[in-house]
Structure 1
Amino acid sequence: FGGYKQSGNGREWGRYGFEEFLEVKSILGYNA
C-alpha cells in the first residue's frame, strides 16, 4: 500500500479505488 500502478494497486482497484486512494493520501497528508 504505497504505490499507484507500480505496486499493482491501481490495476486491482480500478478507477474508483484509485480515486479513494488519492483521497486517503490527501487526508493523511502524503504527497509521494
Structure 2
Amino acid sequence: ALQGVIQLNNDAILNIQKEAGKLREMLKQVQHDN
C-alpha cells in the first residue's frame, strides 16, 4: 500500500513540474511583450 502512495506522490510531483514548466514559458512570453 505504501508503494502505491509513493507512486501517486511521484506522479503528482511530475505533473506539478510539467505545469510549472508551462507557466514559466507563459511568463517568459508575457515579459517579452512588455
TM-score of the superposed pair, with normalisation by structure 1: 0.48
Considering fraction of residues, name the structure with more helix.
2
Greater Cα radius of gyration, structure 1 or 2: 2
Question: Highest relative contact order (Cα 8 Å, sep 6+), 1 or 2?
Answer: 1
TM-score of the superposed pair, with normalisation by structure 2: 0.46
